[in-house]
Amino acid sequence: MNKLQQLFQKKPNNLLSIFFTAGYPQLEDTIPLIQYLCKSSVDFIEIGFPFSDPLADGPTIQATNYQAIQNGMTLSLLFKQLSSLPPISTPLILMGYLNPILQMGIPQFLHNCSQNQIDAIIIPDLPFDYYEKYFQKTMSEYNICSVFLVTPSTPPDRLNQIKQFTTGFVYVVSDNSITGKNIDFQKQKKYLENLQQCLEGVPKIIGFGIKDPLSFQTACQFANGAIIGSAFLNHLKNHKISLELVQNFIQSIRL
């Protein structure tokens, strides 16, 4: 059992996760941001490694991917940065698309994750058969959790597969849209309630459109917690990274 699984046992409700793009706003901001988020008592941290074509992401995260790449961020550099991170108790999730992983090589990527405090991996465009063949065994050996995404259009047979393969949590995409969009939870109520039944016993975290105390609290009514990404990245934009800046944002969500 790794730190993420222990977290869900210890604190099953009202979990707050923050997503940020590695290498944004500045190339060397990755480690300070992790440390500031830990000091701000977020429950777990999701680090996105940039990709040139992040299809599921809205304008804000796309812009941060572009800026991070322009800054010089690569997957290899991210692991080099993470190797300097002192041991932390907050679970770390690594999120990104399959192409950069294939360029690095799956065995090397998973080894690097195991050596750098990564507790779970989210790869939105990873097919199940590819996961079974190339990822599942090694991730289990390294004690790295799998996280899969569901959307309002996910068919029942895929939901069953997601329940079967998930060892971390299910990332519940709140709406058939891109990140950063406003979400009407009342319109999604039936979908979210259905997931509670279909995925009973599996931790669920809602993402896409969580941006303030109300959307966070509403999401927590249907899941174990929520992930905030675009709103946090907008908060960082045009500011010098500091502990106070990060703490102010976290406090504004947990009113």
Active site residues: 46, 57
Q: Among candidates 122, 125, 153, 143, which has minimal Cα distance to 54?
A: 125
Nearest to 253 by CA among 207, 204, 219, 216: 216
Beta strand residue intervals within 114-231, DSSP E: 118-122, 145-150, 170-173, 204-207, 225-228
Element (H, E) at 71: helix 59-71
Within 10 A of 159 (CB to CB), how many other CB atoms are there? Answer: 17
Residues composing the chain: 255
The candidate with the shortest Cα–Cα distance to 45, out of 32, 62, 56, is 32
Cα separation, 5 vs 18, whole angstroms: 17
